[in-house]
Amino acid sequence: MTEAILLVGGQGTRLRPLTSHTPKPLLPVAGVPFLAHQLARAAAAGVHRVVFATSYLAELFEPHFGDGAVFGLDLVYVTEAEPLGTGGAIRNAADHLTCGPDEPVLVLNGDILSGLDIAALRDGHRASGADVSLHLTRVADPRAFGLVPTDADGRVTAFLEKPQTPEEIVTDQINAGAYVFTRAVIDRIPAGRVVSVERETFPDLLATDAVVRGVVDDTYWLDLGTPAAFVKGSADLVRGRVSSPALPGPVGDALVLDGAFVDPLAVLSGGTVVGAGAVVGAGAVVEGSVVLPGARIAGRALVHHSVVGRHAEVGAGSRLDSVVVGDGAVVGAGNELPAGLRVGCGAVLADESVRMSAAPSTCAAAHVGARR
């Protein structure tokens, strides 16, 4: 029996406008709030109790997951009056743990989709007698992450969060956002102030010769913090490239949720998910995309690797590639939106008002459109 702390208090700035009204961990990924996948995997690994460390839009979590009985979990919600950073959040949540000082506590970033064997990380931690064990993964470009070099015995030798210079890029191993702490180590994190586990707690532990293990595991791993990663993670779940006990349908090319309507002459592929109450019209092609509940995609629209927000509309014949359409926004007919464009919540793009040739940064219309 294991307890876990789930870090879910971040603002999800890189996913705006999707995160303007919904915290990143609650955005639907493969048809269910992202955390459902993490909670189901944790439960399968023998976790029985999870403390949510919330801050941004904190009140939205409990209505989704309640007491956790659906997952076979006991859930506890803790809210920081002011965001305490990752380390401060862990320390604050620890007041609600029930285990003893020598027990392992799992700590998870709330935006990681991975195939990690959580039970093996915990059991290896216990057997090693380490103070902290970190899941590490390898990425081609580590600059957006915490770099974690290890020695021949797997002991962490440094922790370099978000390296700024080429000299700092000493490894392709990064912090994958899943830790096992021996409970007593958490209790020593200073209480009642902002602490970064990455910039303060881990470097301090290394400075005091604590045993910090890095466990490199090259299983599927994705941080869902950007629009591109968000659509990829959802599509990979739908296509079964990473498994989740919480997937609400069979693995396949597309997932159409109950209450959605997809015209028989529309084509869905690449792991597209169409949410409840959404409509996709005849001749539309939707590939590798997330169509959120209540959205409407008109006939002959082409939507690739994009997110169409709740109750947003994409007009007939419009083309979207790697675009985020905010909740309630309207993309009129015949638009060609350039990759990277984000259409603000409730914005309205008139018919044929944006063409491919416009650079994303010059598409002011996307953010100044009149509200409905």
For residue 179, the partner it binds in ligand GDD, Mg ion, none, with Cβ less than 5 to 8 A by kind, is none
For ligand GDD, which residue of 10, 28, 227, 328 counts as binding (CB under 6 A)?
10
Active-site residue 162, yes or no?
A: yes
SS3 label, residue 72: coil
Q: What minimum distance in Å lies between the beta carbon of 257 and Mg ion? A: 26
Nearest to ligand GDD of 107, 295 (CB atom): 107
Least distance in angstroms from the C-beta of 124 to ligand GDD = 20
Q: What is the DSSP string of 146-175?
A: EE--B-TTSBB---EES--SGGG---SEEE
Give the interface segment with Mg ion, choosing from 103-111, 121-129, 145-153, 360-368 (CB under 5 A).
Answer: 103-111
23 contributes a contact to Mg ion by CB under 5 A: no
By CB under 6 A, what part of segment 310-339 binds ligand GDD?
A: none
What residues from 199 to 238 belong to the interface with Mg ion (CB under 5 A)? 223, 225
Per-residue contact flags (x/-) with Mg ion for residues 47 to 86, judged by CB under 5 A: ----------------------------------------
Candidate segments 4-12, 41-49, 126-134, 249-257, binder of ligand GDD by CB under 6 A? 4-12
Beta bridge partners of 6: 52, 108
Q: Do residues 298 and 314 make contact, with C-beta atoms less than 8 angstroms apart?
A: yes
Question: How many residues make up the chain in this entry?
Answer: 372
Touching ligand GDD, residues 213-252 (CB under 6 A): 223, 225
- Partner in contact with 55, chosen from ligand GDD, Mg ion, none, beta carbon below 5 to 8 Å by kind: ligand GDD
Q: What is the DSSP letter of 121?
A: H
Residue 66 CA to residue 298 CA, distance in Å, equals: 36
Sign of CA dihedral 194, 196, 200, 201: positive
Phi, psi for residue 118 in degrees, rounded to 5: -60, -40
161 touches Mg ion (CB under 5 A) = no
**Which residues within the stretch 47-86 sit at the binding site for ligand GDD (CB under 6 A)?**
53-55, 80, 83-86
The stretch among 2-10, 303-311, 341-349, 359-367 that binds ligand GDD (CB under 6 A) is 2-10
154: phi then psi, degrees, rounded to nearest 5? 85, 10
Q: Which amino acid is at 99?
A: C
Contact indicator for 138, 218 with CB cutoff of 8 Å: yes
Contact indicator for 44, 106 with CB cutoff of 8 Å? no
Which partner in ligand GDD, Mg ion, none is near 178 (CB below 5 to 8 A by kind)?
Answer: none
**Nearer of residues 19 and 322 to Mg ion, judged by Cβ:** 19
Instruction: Select from 33, 87, 110, 281 the one that contacts ligand GDD (CB under 6 A).
Output: 110
Query: Within the chain, what is the greatest distance between any pair of CA atoms?
Result: 64
Task: Report the C-alpha gap between 20 and 13 in whole angstroms.
Answer: 9
H helix intervals, the chain: 34-44, 61-65, 85-94, 118-128, 183-187, 202-207, 227-238, 365-368
SS3 258: coil
Instruction: Draw the binding track, 164-183, toward ligand GDD (x: CB under 6 A; -: no contact).
Output: ----------xx-x------
User: Which residue among the candidates 64, 143, 162, 372 is catalytic per the annotation?
Assistant: 162
Which residues in this chain contact Mg ion in the complex, by CB under 5 A? 111, 223, 225
Residues with a known catalytic role: 162
Which residues in this chain contact ligand GDD in the complex, by CB under 6 A? 7-10, 53-55, 80, 83-86, 89, 109-112, 145-146, 161, 174-175, 177, 198, 223, 225
